[in-house]
Structure 1
């Protein structure tokens, strides 16, 4: 677009800037092009037939200028820079307490990367903002049409690069400052959309302005050099200055940037929508008002203006993603964190807005139904406020210093007294002397910064200097106290009528608790389900909410919900008012809590990152929270599929723990085991048998995982064999396993012992050889770690592990024992914390319980009895036979189970003894094993045979 000629309202200013650039740079150059380009942008924007109203987001000066212009012109059509698909939600602002944020939310994506889910776009609204004044005017004035013209929320993500996570449209630095009130996360990870983000495009310019403006951050610079001078400016001056600032930041930005392309596409989009609406409705541009950010008012795209001959922008269709729309609560700190504003700046702007409204006598527009609002309805008349010829107000504004405001001693004195009172409540040792010091220091800082009167930022710096000496006694520092004093972190609330159906249903179903759940305080709910069984529905709902909402929203104090157990009394801390955003976003996913929970469980089991553990967790949640057998069977079948497809055993301990619990629950509550449980056991048996040889040699697979695999195989063996599995799979897997790491070697020994392939005597001999080998002794704690993990698959090995540890402590000398003792403790603590209690209980049964008995105690595995110990009574074989003959029912029952046929033999004791002796001679190992268990001498078995 060609620059306008040097004639016109701004011709003199353009020539003046050109001469200044030539004088400073010894001739026209790029500086002259920039300076004259600024004037060209202002001239073009203000000469447009459709009146453009430039604004800055959350600016009291913009809001005041908007109120004045709306009351003067009373337009019939308002074009507003806001996502066009958010328009139906704006009427729900009547039922809310500002600040709130208009939100678009999508959890099921179609056309976007799955990793982006869920998508969320928010546009915060405060009363001290120009867009809210325009919305309130349009909704409260009959005959006025409000048209949102910015790209849709779907296009916000369409224009985001696919190789990165979408971020906020207006790039902002990381927020700083204290967030002690916990409200900075009200917007979650939503993408923020705001009107009129005015900020330098590169850090060097911003640093330059902050340095020469003697301020610490951008919000303070804007408040001092733009906000206050424009608060009382007339309409023409306000428009020209705002367009000039927008043009300055636009031209002093790197041209080759993706953000420039996106901003220009937004401008093409908005002008295309405006022309389409004017063509469709035949509205008179003189009765219309276009509200956009000052940055976009200085646009240079070819579609700019109603008289442009450029073709309309090609708007791509939206994707098939289903978007949900609503309102969520917002707060001043959340807006500051979202858009990189200084902490407290939005609260200061709200206070400045209230003061300016009172001083000017303006009556701002407010929506009916909002708390504390007094509505003044406008009326439509002819456009008496139509813009006339553009006059140059910019030259006078730039050449004349703003009229300094005098020192308002009463206001500053009130601030100083209140901050001292607030500081004392928060633990500071502040006094009247500190109030006086803050007063004088505020004036001093304002003078050093060339200000006629102290600003809230000067006051906050003075308070920190004079009151906060070296430590912060409480959780709030002085700067945070100043923010609270100057306006506080105002938190909005969405009214009941504006909530989605799910949120209203939750509040309705919790009414029997007798609590006002819309309050932001934490409330205690007591449920006696035995005396008041009608509260069982509330209990079920609270457990579901605990599963779906973030921590702290619904917190159980007493009572639990697990498989097969429901508490008769429960106590809850409820803070649904503080977590209203999370509850509202649940309403975007379904109509009822049960529907959302079912969708979440299915998503956990069928998602791209789903594992057998996540599916089993979903099964357990479905049983305890929903009690839906159909869903349980579906999720259980999915768990079987995921287990069969896994190629690692990292989750084996968790798989074993959860399937044991689920099997115990079904065996105790159902007449037969569900089909998916049997399939899971058989699949897991084959799966872990296949992976066992690889896992025992894989360095990345820990001993805990191998122990859990063996625990699954041995504990589920009887069930797996009854369902058709073959035990030869396990024997073959163990035969192919050749571990090298000491813990896994010990695990394999324990597995061989469980299968009868390694007698206990031989296992004891191997451990004795390890203790006598000086080269292996340093690694013996690792063998012990393996034996401890072997208690998972072979719990009967606990006496042997206690014996092995006791033998090591008894036989090894201190120079050998003490170096590996810390290693033993840390190894057991790291790899087997849940199995060590088994050893402790076994040791309690093995060792004497009193100190006096310790002197005469002999370990049972030593094979010798202490002197004076009672002898084992000699029981003739005939007495044993007589005992069994007198109690034939148990013996007959055991024989029937074993399939043994035959009757009882009758004869004298000698014949019976002869037959038993022959049996013992035929099986000497059994007699020796029994003798060892009874603590008899090693030759007791041979004596019994003789």
Structure 2
């Protein structure tokens, strides 16, 4: 049976590929269908009335072809594959230095999961890209309209799968700050040409003798198409897009989104042509080669399929702007090999000099070069009738570039120089080795002229070996040598109002804050009070921006304190992206800071500790009493609703500091402070019994609760709280853990329910019990945590620990000594210094004094237990003599207590050997003994004996 004659421009090629498939596979079925379908896709795309220009992202060949096409036959309308709501930002590119990224940013979400916040979509733009050539031509040519037809940034997230995180090409974590310029934004690229079939990619890399996809593309597509004519370029790019589109393992959700994008773009182009009446012959559709081979029903202007239904946008409020980008950031964003974009930029510059094509560049752009459109080389106009250029291109052998020894020699000399500057022991011999190895690698990879990839591999092999002496390896040095990691910058006029306001307010510092270097700012606030406004702004930026953007070297800003001299390291130019995204949240820094503080106390994860931190920040940075009262009232609400005490230490620390600040700066405490103390007193009294027995609550948290109750007890009682709440809470606590049991004993001692002598006896019983001795370090940990709420226990803790070391034998002491150290280090590192200072006051300072030293607790009377109430009072004894010798202090105390008569009455009978009677001492002998014990120095036991 005779096969039908081939039809169409590519009939001969289709027949040739079908015969080759039959001979190769033995059957003209599936394989032949793929090859013939690729030819059909090329024929369909090139036969469309609206000219389709396929591109690859950041491709010098695409940029050259675009520049030639625009000069040969300038279009009147350019449809560009880019998010349609980013169009107003493109006019701001003329104020920037490329590369930059167009960004859409949103923090106030409506219609998306809250876990996705913040949303960020970026589209990086480099000079060596076809999209930039189209943008520059359209914006600087009168009468040309640029229309963006891709889905909006809101639809980027609408079409994302509703899982924990939105789908998108998120960059891998990297330590390089330049590679992290895009953050975790979702990237939008024009022309993603990469196989979606892993086996196909590995096959191409293996037989192409290259390491990664960027190198394969540069060798087999980029270089051959750099000098190709317009028709050849279009046909080859559509053929590659069709190949990658058809060779997919299975249909995925990404494929569905790609087809929806294509339906969206064709629908928008149809709507624009119908609304404006533009002639399709004067229009140009710029899209990725993958989309040029589309097979959706809406493809083409002659399609009868209905328009694609486009859903309305959500209520999310999007903000738009430009952020700086870099070559490494683009590579990290889209998974390209390191150095790919830098090498593309170098190839773009070399191709411009070789082909004499004048690129389009926006007027006034910060590039240091001026456009030269008047000197453009005239390119041949594209032919009206498409001819078959694929057959000749696919059948022609690859062009082997001649070895440029001067270029390669210059690379080798420069890389050795860079390596020596970065600590490598490189020499002229290494330069020769790199030269020869580059040629060898190129020959092994079937090319006569070494590419930058061959040179980089040779340099790593010959110079780096197995040692990297500095921060940069040799491959990174090769990237710097071949063009470097160019970092873009957004111009002042394109910055959001907040960023411009920051630069204007910091202008008195006399620094060029748009530079990427770290600059030192010195502020003498006493000598130049005008710089106080700069200091206030820097402290706010310190709170809002990354740590390395604004870093204080000297000076601090805390409650009630402002430094008179400050020194800052400023890197706002390096952190321009963070400053720009800050401008999306408000007009001034003060407004953004106020919004963030409110958001911190109103969020779902807000706690009382965070609210107190927000109050402190509002006092330090904003000095707004209205905001402080609002945040403080919210802190009271959060404390009353908390059901755990995990943040009790943080709450205690911050409320102490805030109360001290208000007591020294205001005549009376604010209403929210008083409400916080009373609410906290009742709240912690309620939770105290449960916290003592709860295994998930640590001893540190219970100690902080007691610290809040004991330290703020007087203030709480003066505000109307009832002390019986605390006594009932302590009485209802029945812990079993040793540390919490010791903490309970300390609390009962503070309340007067457990005398010190009884507490001493309990600890002695614990040391005498062999079964309890291994757990004794945990008891000591509880006593150490009690030093904060009950600081008077410090001498007793020193005494208990000393008694343990004195009484326990070495076989018992040595095993639990490491446990004691690790327990104290883990549970009470901030309280151990209190114990050390008390031990320093108790023990002698010199070694000779230790021989005759008697511990204070050993010098105390054995019967020092207070007699029970109602028992006969013992005589004053020697304590009376001490009080007689210092009557003024006791008279002052008596006056404070309301006693008009002096404590010493000559007529009153005194004790035997005493100097007169004392009704006050006779009525309260326990107090006299206690005062005598506290005042007795270690060397005078006669004052405390008796």
Q: TM-score, normalized by length of structure 1? A: 0.94
2:267 maps to what in 1? 272
What secondary structure sits across from 1:493 in the alignment?
A: coil
1:472 maps to what in 2? 468
Deviation for aligned residue 1:910:
2.0
1:198 maps to what in 2? 193
| Mapping of residues 919-938 of structure 1, within 5 Å | 925-926=926-927, 929-930=930-931, 932-933=933-934
Task: State whether structure 2 residue 787 is matched by structure 1 residue 791.
Answer: yes
Does the aligned pair in 2 maintain the 1:102–1:123 contact within 8 Å? yes
Provide closer, same or farther for how the CA distance between residues 759 and 37 of structure 1 changes in structure 2, counting only shifts above 3 A. same
Does the aligned pair in 2 maintain the 1:562–1:624 contact within 8 Å? yes
| Mapping of residues 101-500 of structure 1, within 5 Å | 101-168=101-168, 171=169, 174=172, 182-370=177-365, 371-376=367-372, 385=381, 388-500=384-496
2:45 maps to what in 1? 45
Listed one character per residue, the Cα deviations across residues 679-703 of structure 1 (whole Å, up to 9, x for unaligned) are 1111111111111111111111111
| Mapping of residues 750-769 of structure 1, within 5 Å | 750-769=746-765
Deviation for aligned residue 1:940:
9.5
In structure 1, C-alpha distance between the alignment counterparts of 2:89 and 2:885, rounded to whole Å: 91
What secondary structure sits across from 2:693 in the alignment?
A: coil
1:88 maps to what in 2? 88
Does the aligned pair in 1 maintain the 2:521–2:568 contact within 8 Å? yes
Deviation for aligned residue 1:164:
2.7
What secondary structure sits across from 2:203 in the alignment?
A: helix
What secondary structure sits across from 1:206 in the alignment?
A: helix
Deviation for aligned residue 1:416:
0.8
In structure 2, C-alpha distance between the alignment counterparts of 1:352 and 1:942, rounded to whole Å: 93
In structure 2, C-alpha distance between the alignment counterparts of 1:911 and 1:832, rounded to whole Å: 50
Does the aligned pair in 1 maintain the 2:903–2:918 contact within 8 Å? no
Indicate which of 525, 533, 550 corresponds to 1:554: 550
1:711 maps to what in 2? 707
Deviation for aligned residue 1:887:
7.7
Does the aligned pair in 1 maintain the 2:412–2:431 contact within 8 Å? yes
Indicate which of 572, 594, 605 corresponds to 2:568: 572
Deviation for aligned residue 1:167:
3.5
1:869 maps to what in 2? none
In structure 2, C-alpha distance between the alignment counterparts of 1:336 and 1:507, rounded to whole Å: 30
1:626 maps to what in 2? 622
In structure 2, C-alpha distance between the alignment counterparts of 1:21 and 1:677, rounded to whole Å: 84
Deviation for aligned residue 1:891:
4.3
Provide closer, same or farther for how the CA distance between residues 638 and 173 of structure 1 changes in structure 2, counting only shifts above 3 A. closer
Does the aligned pair in 1 maintain the 2:323–2:577 contact within 8 Å? yes
Does the aligned pair in 2 maintain the 1:617–1:658 contact within 8 Å? yes
Provide closer, same or farther for how the CA distance between residues 943 and 353 of structure 1 changes in structure 2, counting only shifts above 3 A. closer
Deviation for aligned residue 1:933:
3.9
1:895 maps to what in 2? 897
Listed one character per residue, the Cα deviations across residues 420-471 of structure 1 (whole Å, up to 9, x for unaligned) are 1111111111111111111111111011111121110000001111111221
In structure 2, C-alpha distance between the alignment counterparts of 1:400 and 1:876, rounded to whole Å: 116
Deviation for aligned residue 1:943:
9.8
Does the aligned pair in 1 maintain the 2:882–2:932 contact within 8 Å? no
Provide closer, same or farther for how the CA distance between residues 942 and 617 of structure 1 changes in structure 2, counting only shifts above 3 A. closer
In structure 1, C-alpha distance between the alignment counterparts of 2:745 and 2:926, rounded to whole Å: 20
In structure 2, C-alpha distance between the alignment counterparts of 1:786 and 1:649, rounded to whole Å: 17
The count of corresponding residues between Structure 1 and Structure 2 is: 923
In structure 2, C-alpha distance between the alignment counterparts of 1:6 and 1:692, rounded to whole Å: 90
In structure 1, C-alpha distance between the alignment counterparts of 2:744 and 2:135, rounded to whole Å: 74
Listed one character per residue, the Cα deviations across residues 476-502 of structure 1 (whole Å, up to 9, x for unaligned) are 111111000001000111111111111
In structure 1, C-alpha distance between the alignment counterparts of 2:748 and 2:369, rounded to whole Å: 81
Deviation for aligned residue 1:893:
3.5
Unaligned runs of at least 5 residues, structure 1: 866-872
2:725 maps to what in 1? 729
In structure 1, C-alpha distance between the alignment counterparts of 2:902 and 2:927, rounded to whole Å: 24
1:868 maps to what in 2? none
What secondary structure sits across from 1:494 in the alignment?
A: coil
In structure 1, C-alpha distance between the alignment counterparts of 2:849 and 2:171, rounded to whole Å: 72
Does the aligned pair in 2 maintain the 1:863–1:932 contact within 8 Å? no
In structure 1, C-alpha distance between the alignment counterparts of 2:917 and 2:599, rounded to whole Å: 65
Does the aligned pair in 2 maintain the 1:286–1:386 contact within 8 Å? no
Provide closer, same or farther for how the CA distance between residues 533 and 21 of structure 1 changes in structure 2, counting only shifts above 3 A. same
Does the aligned pair in 2 maintain the 1:269–1:315 contact within 8 Å? yes
In structure 2, C-alpha distance between the alignment counterparts of 1:943 and 1:352, rounded to whole Å: 96
In structure 1, C-alpha distance between the alignment counterparts of 2:430 and 2:279, rounded to whole Å: 61
2:674 maps to what in 1? 678
| Mapping of residues 733-748 of structure 1, within 5 Å | 733-748=729-744
In structure 2, C-alpha distance between the alignment counterparts of 1:786 and 1:941, rounded to whole Å: 33
Moved more, 509-518 or 847-856: 847-856
Does the aligned pair in 2 maintain the 1:928–1:941 contact within 8 Å? no
Task: State whether structure 2 residue 794 is matched by structure 1 residue 810.
Answer: no
Deviation for aligned residue 1:930:
4.6
In structure 1, C-alpha distance between the alignment counterparts of 2:484 and 2:515, rounded to whole Å: 18
What secondary structure sits across from 1:570 in the alignment?
A: strand
Does the aligned pair in 2 maintain the 1:602–1:635 contact within 8 Å? yes
Does the aligned pair in 2 maintain the 1:443–1:453 contact within 8 Å? yes
Listed one character per residue, the Cα deviations across residues 193-229 of structure 1 (whole Å, up to 9, x for unaligned) are 0100101113222111111111111111110111111
In structure 1, C-alpha distance between the alignment counterparts of 2:348 and 2:9, rounded to whole Å: 33
What secondary structure sits across from 1:146 in the alignment?
A: strand
| Mapping of residues 600-619 of structure 1, within 5 Å | 600-619=596-615
Provide closer, same or farther for how the CA distance between residues 882 and 338 of structure 1 changes in structure 2, counting only shifts above 3 A. closer
Deviation for aligned residue 1:613:
1.2
In structure 2, C-alpha distance between the alignment counterparts of 1:123 and 1:251, rounded to whole Å: 27
In structure 2, C-alpha distance between the alignment counterparts of 1:880 and 1:297, rounded to whole Å: 103
Deviation for aligned residue 1:727:
1.2
Unaligned runs of at least 5 residues, structure 2: 862-875
Q: CA RMSD in A?
A: 2.6
Does the aligned pair in 2 maintain the 1:76–1:145 contact within 8 Å? yes
1:852 maps to what in 2? 848
Does the aligned pair in 1 maintain the 2:903–2:920 contact within 8 Å? no
Listed one character per residue, the Cα deviations across residues 2-29 of structure 1 (whole Å, up to 9, x for unaligned) are xx99510011111111122222222222
Does the aligned pair in 2 maintain the 1:142–1:379 contact within 8 Å? no
What secondary structure sits across from 2:897 in the alignment?
A: helix
In structure 1, C-alpha distance between the alignment counterparts of 2:359 and 2:759, rounded to whole Å: 89
1:660 maps to what in 2? 656
Deviation for aligned residue 1:375:
2.1
Listed one character per residue, the Cα deviations across residues 541-583 of structure 1 (whole Å, up to 9, x for unaligned) are 0101111110110110000000000000000011111000000
2:872 maps to what in 1? none
Provide closer, same or farther for how the CA distance between residues 345 and 379 of structure 1 changes in structure 2, counting only shifts above 3 A. closer
Task: State whether structure 2 residue 606 is matched by structure 1 residue 648.
Answer: no
Indicate which of 523, 545, 563 corresponds to 1:527: 523
Q: TM-score, normalized by length of structure 2? A: 0.94
Provide closer, same or farther for how the CA distance between residues 934 and 942 of structure 1 changes in structure 2, counting only shifts above 3 A. closer
Listed one character per residue, the Cα deviations across residues 824-874 of structure 1 (whole Å, up to 9, x for unaligned) are 111111111111111111111111112221111100000269xxxxxxx98
In structure 1, C-alpha distance between the alignment counterparts of 2:945 and 2:808, rounded to whole Å: 35
1:908 maps to what in 2? 907
In structure 2, C-alpha distance between the alignment counterparts of 1:614 and 1:942, rounded to whole Å: 50
Deviation for aligned residue 1:916:
5.8
Provide closer, same or farther for how the CA distance between residues 424 and 918 of structure 1 changes in structure 2, counting only shifts above 3 A. closer
What secondary structure sits across from 2:511 in the alignment?
A: coil
In structure 2, C-alpha distance between the alignment counterparts of 1:59 and 1:697, rounded to whole Å: 68
In structure 2, C-alpha distance between the alignment counterparts of 1:877 and 1:523, rounded to whole Å: 71
